[in-house]
């Protein structure tokens, strides 16, 4: 792909994709509506690059998207724009339907019109890459099983249901209209520029400040962790070499329980900053009421992308987590304004009521 439109490019994963593609010398058009999780500072290193353009717009704005596709002679679309936080989807499911489902359909319509208008050689090479999540598959037992490209969908939350619906619409545009699509479903990402409502950055910043560290239930829920830069590299491989109509699962082969992740972060912050008043930061952990529909375990078998596209993660979880903690310690200028915003009062995604109940216990 010479020219790529990246939706949601000012977000956590999207910005990593933009930085990678710009560094590879491609022309990158970044489209982002800059909701609370979008942040232009994640793109500082590429914002003024000659092969990068930022456009402040919504994926549902078909006229703007259509004009961009035409003006920039876009070869491919990497669709990452989405509402992604499960807790927010439980509180406000309609917003997830509007962005993740309706927004995706509108983007598909614009992409289809653009693709149909391309000359034959360009039409053959065009790709619509839809980036999804492993949460569409529901959950797994704690002691067995992995997700594969053949796993049936069984979403548990409004967020995962909205992503599952968008996946189905993307496949329908391929089967019905012939739009050359590729799909990918990834495991939990971590790394620099992660918005501080998610588990790893939430825990890092809470541990730095000596605040209570909320953990849902007993912390036994297991996730397969994938460094965001490894994910970006995998996405580039999929849009370049993926077979139209195919799905590729992307995982880090790094399963950890939530409690083990939080404890590892506490230990790393203790090493970097010293004990907190003579006590280890593990003492800050507070078990809070589990959220509804909380999946037990996600685990991905990435054999297909490894075999067909030659991708392997470059980061193991232990060193990747160390680098991530160090990044937050040395990049306060990025996250302090976010923490000072209105989300700080909400403990960045964990309700004050849940945290208060945990503190009383």
- The pLDDT tens digits for 1-33 are 799 999 999 999 999 999 999 999 999 999 999
Domain boundaries, the chain: 3-191+225-250, 199-221+257-298+317-346
Quick check: 165 pLDDT over 60?
yes
How confident is the model at residue 64, as a pLDDT?
Answer: 96
What's the rounded mean pLDDT across residues 177-187?
98
Could you give the C-alpha distances from 116 to 6, 77, 180, 196, in angstroms and in order? 20, 14, 11, 41
Looking at the domain covering 199-221+257-298+317-346, what would its CATH class be? alpha beta
The string of pLDDT tens digits covering residues 37-94 is 889 999 999 999 999 999 999 999 999 999 999 999 999 999 999 998 888 899 999 9
How confident is the model at residue 342, as a pLDDT?
Answer: 55
- Average pLDDT along the chain: 93
Q: Which residues pair with 186 in a beta bridge?
A: 133, 250
Give the CATH number of domain 3-191+225-250: 3.40.50.720
Query: Predicted confidence band at 291 (pLDDT cuts at 50, 70, 90)?
Result: confident
How confident is the model at residue 24, as a pLDDT?
Answer: 97
- pLDDT greater at residue 174 or residue 360: 174
Percent of the chain past pLDDT 70, that is, above it, reads 94
* Contact in structure between 28 and 46 (CB atoms under 8 Å): yes
Decide: pTM greater than 0.85: yes
The string of pLDDT tens digits covering residues 78-110 is 999 999 888 889 999 999 999 999 999 999 999
Q: What angle do CA 329, 208, 268 make, to 5 degrees?
A: 70
Quick check: 360 pLDDT over 80?
no
Q: b/e map of 89-101 (b: 16 or more CB within 10 Å)? A: beeebeebbebbb
Quick check: 321 pLDDT over 60?
yes
Could you give the C-alpha distances from 291 to 159, 295, 297, in angstroms and in order? 13, 10, 14
Quick check: 196 pLDDT over 70?
yes
Residues taking part in catalysis: 134-135, 159
How confident is the model at residue 359, as a pLDDT?
Answer: 32
Quick check: 138 pLDDT over 50?
yes
How confident is the model at residue 190, as a pLDDT?
Answer: 98
Half-sphere exposure of 115 (CA within 13 A, CB side): 21
Quick check: 326 pLDDT over 80?
yes
What's the rounded mean pLDDT across residues 239-247?
98
What's the rounded mean pLDDT across residues 176-186?
98
Kindly give the interhelix angle for 158-177 and 103-117, rounded to the nearest 10 degrees. Answer: 20
Quick check: 292 pLDDT over 80?
yes
Cα separation, 167 vs 82, whole angstroms = 12
> Strands, E, within the chain: which ranges?
3-7, 27-32, 52-56, 76-79, 127-133, 181-186, 188-190, 213-216, 222-227, 247-250, 255-257, 285-288
What's the rounded mean pLDDT across residues 196-217?
95
149: left (phi over 0), alpha (psi -120 to 50) or beta: alpha
Query: Predicted confidence band at 351 (pLDDT cuts at 50, 70, 90)?
Result: very low
How confident is the model at residue 339, as a pLDDT?
Answer: 87
What's the rounded mean pLDDT across residues 317-328?
98
């Amino acid at each position: 792909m010479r020219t790529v439109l990246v939706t949601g490019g000012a977000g956590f994963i999207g910005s990593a994709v933009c930085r990678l593609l710009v560094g590879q010398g491609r022309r990158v058009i970044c489209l982002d509506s800059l909701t609370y999780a979008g942040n232009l500072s994640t793109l500082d290193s590429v914002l003024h690059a000659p092969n990068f353009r930022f456009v402040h717009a919504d994926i549902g704005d078909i006229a703007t998207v259509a004009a961009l596709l035409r003006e920039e002679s876009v070869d491919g679309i990497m669709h990452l724009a989405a509402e992604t936080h499960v807790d927010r989807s439980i509180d406000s499911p309609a917003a997830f339907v509007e962005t993740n489902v309706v927004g995706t359909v509108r983007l598909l319509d614009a992409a289809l019109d653009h693709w149909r208008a391309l000359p034959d050689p360009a039409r053959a090479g065009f790709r619509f890459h839809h980036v999804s999540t492993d949460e569409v598959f529901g959950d797994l037992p704690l002691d067995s099983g992995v997700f594969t490209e053949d796993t049936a969908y069984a979403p548990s939350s409004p967020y995962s249901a909205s992503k599952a619906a968008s996946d189905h619409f993307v496949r329908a545009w391929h089967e019905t209209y012939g739009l050359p699509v590729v799909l990918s479903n990834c495991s939990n990402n971590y790394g620099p520029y992660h918005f501080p409502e998610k588990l790893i950055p939430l825990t890092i910043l809470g541990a730095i400040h000596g605040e209570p560290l909320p953990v849902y239930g007993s912390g036994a829920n297991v996730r397969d962790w994938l460094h965001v830069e490894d994910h970006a590299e995998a996405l580039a491989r999929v849009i370049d070499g993926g077979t139209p109509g195919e799905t590729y699962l992307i995982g880090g082969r790094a399963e950890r329980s939530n409690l083990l992740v939080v404890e590892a972060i506490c230990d790393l912050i203790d090493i970097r900053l010293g004990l907190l008043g003579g006590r280890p930061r593990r003492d800050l952990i507070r078990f809070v009421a589990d959220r509804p529909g909380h999946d037990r375990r996600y685990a991905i078998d990435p054999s297909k992308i490894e075999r067909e596209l030659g991708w392997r993660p470059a980061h193991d979880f232990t060193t990747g987590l160390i680098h991530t903690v160090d990044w937050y310690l040395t990049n306060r200028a990025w996250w302090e304004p976010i923490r000072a915003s209105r989300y700080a009062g909400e403990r960045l995604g964990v309700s004050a009521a849940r945290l208060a109940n945990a503190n009383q216990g």
